[in-house]
Amino acid sequence: MSWHSDDRAHSSTGPASPWVDDEALGAELIAALTERETYDRVVASADVAFRAHRGMVDARAGLEMDLLLLELVYDSTALDSPVGVRDRSGGSSRTLVFEGHDLGVEVEVESSSIEGQLLPATPGRVSLRTPEGVVATIETDDVGYFRFDVHPDGPLRLECSSERGTCLTQWLPY
């Protein structure tokens, strides 16, 4: 080990303590702690800023989805059925039509399935969502037809995507 003239301390037998007194040692300790505190504060601030930014991005994504909410324009259960007319399937089904600016969806909800078609007829993707998240996602055929053979408990909504955009239906009881 070689020593240079700019080293803090020299001795004929080797290096001595670089701190001349307790004051110098204390000053260097304070500087080191201050640098560590500053580093920790910068990291903590960056973490808070990142989480806030991520939260705003997530909230904005949810807001954009809500802005593209389709309007329910037809619900077969809202109409009084004519007397003497029976459902040919023998079961109870509910037909719903949702419309938006560029995209819509017609849906038939039965006890064990949900099927429908994107409007206008176009290929796309449909996700079945519950408040807990996505239950299933399927690609439609060339004319936008889809079918879910599921029976989720509680409310559900459909998220529909095509080249025209992405939209959501209102929450429906199921």
Residues 6+ apart with CB under 8 A from 88: none
Q: Do residues 47 and 76 share a domain?
A: no
Q: Do residues 40 and 75 share a domain?
A: no
Q: Do residues 37 and 105 share a domain?
A: no
Q: Do residues 98 and 156 share a domain?
A: yes
Longest dimension (CA), the chain: 115
Q: Read off the pLDDT of residues 80-90 as tens digits, 9 standing for 90 and up.
A: 544 434 444 45
Q: Read off the pLDDT of residues 105-148 as tens digits, 9 standing for 90 and up.
A: 999 988 888 999 999 999 999 999 988 889 899 999 999 999 99
Cis peptide upstream of residue 152 (ω within 30 degrees of 0): no
Q: Do residues 160 and 106 share a domain?
A: yes
Q: Read off the pLDDT of residues 90-117 as tens digits, 9 standing for 90 and up.
A: 557 889 999 988 889 999 988 888 999 9
Assess contact for 65 and 168: CB atoms under 8 A: yes
Alpha helices for the chain (secondary structure H)? 22-67
Q: Which residue in the block uniquely carries the two structure tokens 């399937």? A: 89
pTM assigned to the model: 0.56
Name which residue leads in pLDDT, 2 or 24. Answer: 24
Q: Read off the pLDDT of residues 11-48 as tens digits, 9 standing for 90 and up.
A: 445 556 666 788 887 888 788 777 878 888 878 888 88
Range of the domain at 124: 71-80+91-168
Residues 6+ apart with CB under 8 A from 16: 9, 10
